[in-house]
Amino acid sequence: MSTSLFKRIFRRRNILPLIGLSLFIIAIWILQNEVQQFSWSTFREHVRLIPDHQLMLAFGVTIAGYLILTFYDKLALYNFGIRLKWKKVAKASFLGFAFSHNITPSLLVGGTMRYRIYSSMGISGFNVTKVVGFCAFTLWVGFMALGGVIFAGTSVRIPASVDWPLPNLQILGWIFIALTVLYLILCRFIRASIVFRGKIFKLPEVHVAFGQIVVSSTDLVTSSLILYLLLPPIDELSYPLFLAIYLIGFMGGILSQVPGGLGVIETILVLMLGAFVESSQILSAVLVYRLFYFIIPFAAAITVLGIHEIRQRRKQSGKRSGERSGHL
């Protein structure tokens, strides 16, 4: 993400309404394409394979997952000394994540959505940039901590068809654990400062670093649990083993820079879960997972954004009317 690009956008407050309207129109177009490409006949065929109670439980966990996502922003704002009520943070966070899950470049889109909301609360563009960067960094801090424990503690065989540079996941797990411990030590004893474009960034205090691990790990566990609940119960496929496979797919999806890791995660899951679950059952679970975790929240976010834009325009119209009355 380009900080200078954020600054150029955020300095021009007069174009913010256009940004909001543009994102709203683009979002509707993307959602329409996603719905058209979503094979509803295939979905109906596959969803019959999943019991109703599993669908309801997975949807409930999805709602919990999006509530957990709000704590990325809450922790970031706390780290930078900005105090906002959770309700206000939740709106910006939900829009940021729901849009960035579906539109690339995800950091820029998520940052723009957050600024559209946070700017109305008096938060500067530079602080929004820091929040976006902190949230992205928090994801990887938690991924390393959780992935380190899971990879080091489970024996997952990497299929020969997957190009993997290390002989097994245990090595990667211990590397992640070492990096996590090093990060906590730096936050506790050194708190080094990084100078970037004349701005000083400090590592967070150690209790904030632990908060990053808790928030991100809980997010990853929740999102993986949604998909796990949609798979048929199999004794050989324990949740820790599935979580290790999910984290590999998640990492591949993030590194691919494809919205939601579309196609990448499915390929990895089919390759690595093929020994436990039939491909049709995996694809059934993934279809419902994408509907629950991506498409439905995206549609809800578009509605929330539309309501926000209408309210903002009414406020601006009211201010202009008041100014004209004051001049009379």
What's the structural domain count of the chain? 1
Does 328 reside within a domain? no
- Tell me the C-alpha to C-alpha distance, in Å, between residue 121 and each of 92, 114, 163, 185: 11, 11, 47, 35
Geometric angle at alpha carbon 289, from 284 and 291, rounded to 5°: 100
Q: Which amino acid is at 156?
A: V
Residue 223: the pLDDT is 95
**The pair of three-digit structure tokens given for residue 27, joined into one six-digit string:** 């979002």
CA 66 to chain centre: 9
Contacts of 177 (CB under 8 A, 6+ apart): 144, 145, 148, 149, 152
pLDDT mean by block of 10 residues, the chain; 328 residues: 50 53 63 60 74 94 98 97 93 95 84 90 91 95 97 78 68 95 92 67 92 98 96 88 91 70 73 81 85 93 91 73 58
d(C-alpha 229, C-alpha 216), whole Å: 20
Residue 260: the pLDDT is 61
Does 322 reside within a domain? no
Query: What pTM value is reported for the model?
Result: 0.84
Q: Are 58 and 230 in contact (CB under 8 A)?
A: yes
d(C-alpha 268, C-alpha 129), whole Å: 33
Does 115 reside within a domain? yes
Residue 182: the pLDDT is 95
**The pair of three-digit structure tokens given for residue 186, joined into one six-digit string:** 């730096």
| Residue range of the domain that includes 225 | 3-314
Q: Which amino acid is at 317?
A: S
Does 242 reside within a domain? yes
d(C-alpha 292, C-alpha 272), whole Å: 23
Does 323 reside within a domain? no
Tell me the per-residue pLDDT of 54-82, one tens digit each, with 9 for 90 and over: 999 999 999 999 999 999 999 999 999 99
- Tell me the C-alpha to C-alpha distance, in Å, between residue 302 and each of 42, 95, 263: 26, 8, 24
**The pair of three-digit structure tokens given for residue 127, joined into one six-digit string:** 């602080």
Does 325 reside within a domain? no
d(C-alpha 225, C-alpha 36), whole Å: 27
Does 321 reside within a domain? no
Does 197 reside within a domain? yes
Tell me the per-residue pLDDT of 105-119, one tens digit each, with 9 for 90 and over: 788 889 989 998 998
Q: Are strands 199-202 and 193-196 parallel, antiparallel or unpaired?
A: antiparallel
